[in-house]
Amino acid sequence: MEVTGHISGEDVPRRSASIWDVARVAGVSQQTVSRVINGKGRVSAETRAKVLRVIEELGYRPNKLARMLAGGPVRSVTVLTSDTSLYGAAATLRGMEEAARTAGFSVGISVLEPGSGQRDVAERLNRPGEAVMVIAYDDAGVRALASLPPDVPMAAAVERRPGAEAPDPWQVWLDDRAAAAHATRYLLSLGHRTVHYVAIPSSTSDLPQRTQGWADALRAAGRPLPEPLHGGWSPRSGYLAVRPLVADPSVTAILCGNDDLALGVMRAAREAGRHIPGDLSVVGFDDSPPAAYLNPSLTTVRLDFEGLGRACFGLLHRRLDPQNAPAVPAWSEPELIVRESSAPAPGSTF
Amino acid sequence: MEVTGHISGEDVPRRSASIWDVARVAGVSQQTVSRVINGKGRVSAETRAKVLRVIEELGYRPNKLARMLAGGPVRSVTVLTSDTSLYGAAATLRGMEEAARTAGFSVGISVLEPGSGQRDVAERLNRPGEAVMVIAYDDAGVRALASLPPDVPMAAAVERRPGAEAPDPWQVWLDDRAAAAHATRYLLSLGHRTVHYVAIPSSTSDLPQRTQGWADALRAAGRPLPEPLHGGWSPRSGYLAVRPLVADPSVTAILCGNDDLALGVMRAAREAGRHIPGDLSVVGFDDSPPAAYLNPSLTTVRLDFEGLGRACFGLLHRRLDPQNAPAVPAWSEPELIVRESSAPAPGSTF
DNA sequence: GCGAGGGATGTTATCGGTAACTCTCACCTC
DNA sequence: GAGGTGAGAGTTACCGATAACATCCCTCGC
């Protein structure tokens, strides 16, 4: 920081006002100022007014760092998430952020890299013991969740409903499995012989929920179970995944792990000369904002990510403050939104 | 925090290790530990090894809060942004985050509400003087930028190129105006008599850059200048904005303020029985990931938001540390990506 | 009249670090 | 052998708050 020329020392405050400056100007002790700010302890109305006036004058703002260091009440959360450009994560984040802000918490967001390990996650916390929310829809998120020390106050939005043997009470999830099964049954009910599935990357080593739900429904109906295709998160990956398959006229229904994949699938189908929904029905997952405006508009499973995010914060809030936190808000169950991209199977009598 | 059952006091550390614990166990002073951690000052190899071993043993992590409080080097940035679900903001954020993380900065993100005022913005900073980046593409962002005290080290990604009279050296932007003009000229070159424009909400009271560029090009070509339509950010808003207009066969080309608007516009056109691009050309802005996969795929202006975000951090880095910060990386100029949604005007001889 | 009670404040310790200064030797020079 | 030097470590102050404890003064009860 070089300084050239004349600077009058008086009107260029080198650092902003601290609680001590306020105390000095107001002629009281620094502790009294703290009392006024936090509304704790007794202060005479007169003194309070004076202090408040000085605070206004000096434009004093409490330093959050110092406050947290000194063991003030936990009023901040860090959200760990990987890719905020994915609709699901972004919407969940929005819900979390809104709920937290409304409850008076300040929200920090820390973006996870695919390769980050345990040490790295601990590094992101401002202080040991910081409250954390994790969006664990993908691999990076799940790993971050796993590597979080058990003593940090945490709540997570996860893909996978925990097994019955060890349910973590601090997790929320949407019933992807039932939703995928429902969407699959819907397609079967339209007369399709079977349904193909393009999967998003799995966050676990096990079969992902959506894949399982799809398989459940096919098995229950006694239909052939095709090998699931492995897509990524992007339209491009959906496009590439189904290209080998999509020209086959026996393929009449494809369920996609998210709406972006469905977009790629529809393009691949068009390029193969197949008409949607006449020759081929496509169903997505998420009900992202563009879905209703695509051509054809996309039949998809609406997931209440925002509600889930709000609920996740509600859970965390109760964990931090079991006495005073309000009840955890409910969120909506997945819902199939039928639009133009799905129709009775070609040649069916529906 | 209720505790039931027996807890052995020894193996449940009430709080995680501090630098003092490390010092005590290692049998050195706390300052020596600090020296080892920061690599400043001289420490014998032997002592260093011992301290490091103890750090490992105790799982010690420095408390960032305390470090920042104590005036350690500024190693953190807060990004102020409004809606992370918009492609432009999300992509810029990704660029900023990546660049900052790579440079060893920790990144916090704080989401602006539409109604947040001056006081509110100051409130978000962890401490007065915290480094900040602002994504000011919309009204909330611009207001946040304006209400930032002049002494905070800041860099911003803005929509509007600052006027020549008082350019702020700590801002970066994309040349939206030139890009919009270019896209408009492209459409005119296809034989369209004029081009209609659906605007995104303005971040300034003046005419937004994209609107100006569009008007520039029409004026330069001596074409009629239609009243710009006012959309929002969503496909729905684009749909609603153009519905009254789109049935008119004399409207043959529409430029949209972003890709989402274009999506809504295309749907409105289809519903009005107009064929794209046969009857009507539609051009978007942003080149968001779905654009290439839409039906028809969207001609759009590609904007290097990620590069802009990286550059913005580069700028901030130089501001914080003029000596050592690397050069500010370059970003790409806007580029028109021609796809299926634009074609020669109906009846033209092209 | 005097100790008890309690409202309004001040004092001191503490959080977990960093920065600046000090201290202690071993070694080197003249 | 006295004094200077510099590496390696310790001491102390400070960052800006909160929390616990101490103090002052005034009023009330007996």
Dump pLDDT digits (tens) for B8-33: 334 444 567 899 999 999 999 999 99
User: Can you state the angle between helices A235-246 and A259-271, rounded to 10 degrees?
Assistant: 40
pLDDT above 60: residue B2: no
pLDDT above 70: residue A15: no
CB neighbour class for B47 (10 Å; exposed up to 12, middle 13-18, buried from 19): middle
Cα(B180)–Cα(B222) distance, integer angstroms: 17
Contact flag, residue B265 CB and nucleic strand C, below 7 A: no
Cα(A198)–Cα(A232) distance, integer angstroms: 9
Cα(A107)–Cα(A65) distance, integer angstroms: 14
Residue A80's DSSP bridge partners are A110, A134
pLDDT above 50: residue A165: yes
User: What was the pLDDT predicted at A4?
Assistant: 34
Cα(B40)–Cα(B46) distance, integer angstroms: 16
Helix (H) or strand (E) holding A67: helix A64-69
Burial string for B96-135 (b: 16+ CB within 10 Å, else e) reads bbbbbbebebbbbbbbbeeebeeeebbebbbbbbbbbbbb
pLDDT above 80: residue B145: yes
> Binning pLDDT at 50, 70 and 90, where does residue B71 land?
confident
Cα(B61)–Cα(B6) distance, integer angstroms: 29
A264 chain-B contacts, CB cut-off 8 A: 293
Contact flag, residue B224 CB and nucleic strand C, below 7 A: no
User: What was the pLDDT predicted at B111?
Assistant: 85
CA angle B162, B166, B171 (to 5 degrees): 45
Cα(B301)–Cα(B339) distance, integer angstroms: 11
Cα(B78)–Cα(B110) distance, integer angstroms: 7
Max avg pLDDT among A62-76, B135-149, B175-189: B175-189
Nucleotide C14's nearest residue (CA vs C1') is A70
Q: Are B63 and A69 an interchain contact pair (Cβ–Cβ within 8 Å)?
A: yes
Chain centroid offset of residue B167 CA:
20
Task: Tell whether B75 is within 8 A of chain A (Cβ).
Answer: no
Give pLDDT tens digits for B225-268.
Answer: 999 999 999 999 999 999 999 999 999 999 999 999 999 999 99
Half-sphere exposure for A94 (CA within 13 Å, toward CB): 20
pLDDT above 60: residue B197: yes
Interval A327-332 mean pLDDT: 96
Parallel, antiparallel or unpaired: strands B106-111 and A335-337:
unpaired
> Binning pLDDT at 50, 70 and 90, where does residue B85 land?
confident
pLDDT above 70: residue A242: yes
Cα(A258)–Cα(A245) distance, integer angstroms: 18
- Quick one: which of A326, A328, A322, A320 has its CA closest to A153? A320
Which residues does B267 contact at the CB level (< 8 Å), separation at least 6? A293, A295, A297, B235, B239
pTM of this structure: 0.86
Q: Residue A205 has what DSSP assignment?
A: S
Task: Tell whether A263 is within 8 A of chain B (Cβ).
Answer: yes
Contact flag, residue B34 CB and nucleic strand D, below 7 A: no
**CA of B221 vs C1' of D9, distance in Å?**
78
> Binning pLDDT at 50, 70 and 90, where does residue B6 land?
very low
Residue B341's DSSP bridge partners are none
Interval B273-282 mean pLDDT: 97
Q: Are A293 and B128 an interchain contact pair (Cβ–Cβ within 8 Å)?
A: no
Contact flag, residue A52 CB and nucleic strand C, below 7 A: no
User: What was the pLDDT predicted at B35?
Assistant: 92
Give pLDDT tens digits for A114-140.
Answer: 776 666 777 777 777 789 999 999 888
Chain C: bases < 7 Å from a protein Cβ: 7-12, 14-20
pLDDT above 60: residue A12: no
Give pLDDT tens digits for B284-301.
Answer: 999 999 999 999 999 999
User: What was the pLDDT predicted at B161?
Assistant: 67
pLDDT above 90: residue B72: no
Give pLDDT tens digits for A172-213.
Answer: 999 999 999 999 999 999 999 999 999 999 877 678 899 999
Residue given tokens 């056109």 in the structure block? B269
**CA of B54 vs C1' of D6, distance in Å?**
28
Return phi, psi of residue B140, to 5°. Answer: -60, -40
A122 chain-B contacts, CB cut-off 8 A: 61
**A227 three-class SS:** coil
pLDDT above 90: residue A301: yes
Cα(B277)–Cα(B338) distance, integer angstroms: 12
- Quick one: which of A298, A291, A249 has its CA closest to A269? A249
B130, B152 contact by CB (below 8 A): yes
Max avg pLDDT among A165-169, B108-112, B278-282: B278-282
Percent of chain A with pLDDT over 70: 91
User: What was the pLDDT predicted at B157?
Assistant: 96
Helix (H) or strand (E) holding B301: strand B299-302
Residue A174 φ/ψ region, left for φ over 0, alpha for ψ in the -120 to 50 degree band, beta for the rest: beta
Residue given tokens 């925002």 in the structure block? A306
Max avg pLDDT among A31-45, A48-62, A302-316, B77-91: A302-316
Interval A140-160 mean pLDDT: 87
Contact flag, residue B74 CB and nucleic strand C, below 7 A: no
Parallel, antiparallel or unpaired: strands A131-136 and A154-158:
parallel
Give me the DSSP letters along A111-142: EPPTT--HHHHHHHSSSTT-EEEEEESSHHHH
B298 chain-A contacts, CB cut-off 8 A: none
Task: Tell whether B106 is within 8 A of chain A (Cβ).
Answer: yes
> Binning pLDDT at 50, 70 and 90, where does residue A2 land?
very low
Cα(A79)–Cα(A156) distance, integer angstroms: 9
How many other β-carbons are positioned within 10 Å of the β-carbon of residue A166? 6
pLDDT above 60: residue A9: no
